[in-house]
Structure 1
Amino acid sequence: MSRTIGLLTDFGLDDPYVGQMKGVLAIHAPESYVIDVSHGVSPFCIAQGAFFLAAAMNHFPENTIFITVVDPGVGSGRKIIGAEFNERIVIAPDNGILELAESQFTGTMIVTDLSETAGKMSSSSTFHGRDLFAPLAAEIASGTSLENLGPKFPLRNLVRKGIQKPVWKNDEVKVIVLHKDRFGNLILNIPDKQIMPERMCISREKCNVCCVKRVSCYTELEDMSIGLLAGSQGFYELALKRGSASEMLGVEPEDTLILKWSGQCEKG
């Protein structure tokens, strides 16, 4: 039996970590097709990892197994879980990284606790991606069902960080930056189906940018002004014409911003 396996980590490509995971998969699931989702998640950045996972899932085959290793709690008592999104399966630490994928899923996510099975495997305390996650994925890819690897895990007990829920008030919304792409665009945790005002301002400590305009494409951005538009990944993003919104605002993934649409905004 062969299944596609998607790898998503914060390992980067300078170290041998990704190659070692692929080596384990080549040994134990040689017929599987392994695809790199990304290894460029900022170290320990769960919100960005959650965004990458949610953005990628529907663009992979229905029987894909995703190994998602953004795991600052590696070696601790945090659980290892397997989440079913119909035929797609995500193996991940229980640290909130499934939140965005679950919020976009139209069905009911089913979660299995793989911690006991993983605990029987030989493992280092610092590299569960190679020693636990990859072997578990290979076993599933080879035909083992999740129900044979552990008990069901109640959804109410999952770790949640609230990254899928902007905080709305009458005239503003507090958002989390999920991702900064290589152009400096800032992807926010506002789904692109949400109706947003034509003009807003951005409020942040030491930063107040007036009149953010909602646009439909990058060419509508005004010189030296930040615009809000629905991006290609299912969320709104802030962009600067031929420049970096991230640098202009001094904002990185997991930072918070407030978008306001009433009152006067003063440039700062």
Structure 2
Amino acid sequence: MILLFTDFGAEGPYLGQMDAVLRQAAPGAEIINLVSDAPAGDPRLSAYLLAALCRFFPKDSIFVGVVDPGVGGDRLPVVLKADGRWFVGPDNGLFNTVAVQASQVEWQIIGWRPEQLSNSFHGRDLFAPVAARIERGDMTWSGGPYAGPDLSGWPTDFLRIVYVDHYGNAITGARYAASLAGLSLAVNDHRIPEAKTFSDVPEGQPFWYCNSMGLVEIAVNRGRADAELGLAPGMEIGFV
């Protein structure tokens, strides 16, 4: 299973080009467009969404992560193997949360290069072909082990909004914990109570809850939390 996690958006040719490369190079693989609207150009916010999603997939799943504002620059192309799952993409923070939350971590540099490598589309030309090689059991892409980025200051949870979904719900980088039960969530001058789910509060009322990924999420029953509360990715949250 090869899963695409990108900030490309659903429109345009980019997802189709990556899908075509994977289908040619790994014809037996199941290819899933997991997320195409990750926080645009923001690997740090995207990292917490990716870490929450990946744990629902089996070992040996291969994630191609392309949130890569530094494409063509000096950031390294890498492969992370974390708790049996593979992550292929740039070493720019996108995989850091996966790494700090994992028990077993191994980083490798991508040493292989194609004959033609675009300066601006490594997702198609480098990361997708490497993912296909991993799916085939071909390790000729590896440039050797890599110590990985310095994660000493990288928080395992992030008290910020990292993603706003189609319904206007604001997903944070904070994993739910029992210690948060009963607390109010503070964001953008609002104090929001906890509830179990949408039907537990009156129509139009904001609340926060533990979502299906195990993350703290802010919502409004029958409304849009982003519009009604003025929420956007990157905003800080707190608990009181």
* Same fold flag (TM > 0.5): yes
Q: How many residues align?
A: 240
Q: Deviations over 1:192-234 (max 9, x none)?
A: 1241152425253xxx224x21111211224543212111111
- Percentage of matched positions with identical amino acids: 28
Structure 2 partner of 1:122? 116
Secondary structure, in 3 states, of the residue corresponding to 1:111?
strand
Q: Using a 3 Å threshold, how does the CA distance of structure 1 residues 16 and 161 change in structure 2: closer, same or farther?
A: farther
1:1-268 aligned at under 5 Å gives the runs 4-105=1-102, 107-114=103-110, 116-118=111-113, 121-145=115-139, 149-155=142-148, 157-158=149-150, 162=154, 164-166=156-158, 175-200=159-184, 202-204=186-188, 208-210=189-191, 212-259=192-239, 261=240
Q: Using a 3 Å threshold, how does the CA distance of structure 1 residues 66 and 199 change in structure 2: closer, same or farther?
A: closer
> Offset of 1:104 from its aligned partner?
3.3
> Comparing 48-57 with 29-38, which one deviates more in the overlay?
48-57
Does the 8 A contact of 1:47 with 1:163 survive in 2?
Answer: no
Which residue type is aligned with residue 130 of structure 2?
L
Which residue type is aligned with residue 31 of structure 2?
V
Q: Deviations over 1:177-205 (max 9, x none)?
A: 1111112111112211241152425253x
Which residue type is aligned with residue 96 of structure 1?
G
Q: Using a 3 Å threshold, how does the CA distance of structure 1 residues 199 and 29 change in structure 2: closer, same or farther?
A: closer
- Structure 2: 5+ residue stretches without partners: none
Secondary structure, in 3 states, of the residue corresponding to 1:238?
strand
Does the 8 A contact of 2:185 with 2:208 survive in 1?
Answer: no
Q: Deviations over 1:94-118 (max 9, x none)?
A: 111113322432x22111111x324
> Offset of 1:46 from its aligned partner?
2.1
Does the 8 A contact of 1:111 with 1:153 survive in 2?
Answer: yes
Which residue type is aligned with residue 245 of structure 1?
A
> Offset of 1:23 from its aligned partner?
1.4
- Structure 1: 5+ residue stretches without partners: 167-174, 262-268
Secondary structure, in 3 states, of the residue corresponding to 2:17?
helix
> Offset of 1:63 from its aligned partner?
1.6
Question: Which of structures 1 and 2 has the bigger CA Rg?
Answer: 1
Q: Using a 3 Å threshold, how does the CA distance of structure 1 residues 226 and 47 change in structure 2: closer, same or farther?
A: farther
What is the distance in 1 between the residues matched to 2:219 and 2:205?
9
Which residue type is aligned with residue 169 of structure 2?
N
What is the distance in 2 between the residues matched to 1:40 and 1:160?
29
Q: Using a 3 Å threshold, how does the CA distance of structure 1 residues 185 and 13 change in structure 2: closer, same or farther?
A: closer
Does the 8 A contact of 1:177 with 1:257 survive in 2?
Answer: yes
What is the distance in 1 between the residues matched to 2:178 and 2:162?
17
Which residue type is aligned with residue 112 of structure 2?
T
Which residue type is aligned with residue 151 of structure 1?
G
Secondary structure, in 3 states, of the residue corresponding to 2:145?
coil
> Comparing 232-241 with 53-62, which one deviates more in the overlay?
53-62
Normalising by structure 1, report the TM-score: 0.81
